[in-house]
Amino acid sequence: MSELRQASTMHWHHKFGIAGLALSALWFAACSATPPVMTVYDASASAKISPVLLHAAQQLQRGDSLPANGPVRSDARGRIQVYVHVSDTSTAAVTVLAGHGLQDTVVSPEMHIVQGWLSASDLVKLAALPFVTYITPPNYAKPR
């Protein structure tokens, strides 16, 4: 009788082992399918990002859309429009910004601003550059 009980116990352990393995695989697949969340890896870099801009970037990374006439605008490619306040507007500095994801740039040396479009996932990486002083959304005109 004990051999029968032992065989039965082994049978159930085998079934639960396969079920556990299947559940683990499903959990791993679900985690892999989750959209990435912005990782703020540098506290000093995140301090250089306007809170409204940081929040909007996190919304986009979750797959949410932004309001059409909100304080932060995004395009069909999921990029956000930003003003990058800098201490250096040289061609070399703008090239570094482009290398960190800033596209379609317009430089305003007098205002120390480089306007452009940026993927939400590149925001903190751009803010970590030493010559970047602050990143904000543009000041859009508002109807009265």
- Tell me what the mean pLDDT of segment 81-108 comes to: 96
Quick check: helix, strand or coil at residue 68? Answer: coil
* Higher-pLDDT residue of 129, 39: 129
Residue 132 phi, psi (nearest 5): -85, 125
- Tell me what the mean pLDDT of segment 30-35 comes to: 42
Tens digits of residue pLDDT in 16-25: 455 444 444 4
Quick one: pLDDT at residue 128? 94
- Pairwise CA distance, residues 85 & 13, whole Å: 62
Which residue in this structure is represented by tokens 């250096």? 88
Quick one: pLDDT at residue 34? 39
Q: Indicate the domain borders of the chain.
A: 1-34, 43-136
What confidence tier does 104 reach under pLDDT thresholds 50, 70, 90? very high
- Model pTM? 0.68
Determine whether domain 43-136 maps to CATH 3.30.70: yes
Q: What is Dmax (Cα atoms) for the chain?
A: 91
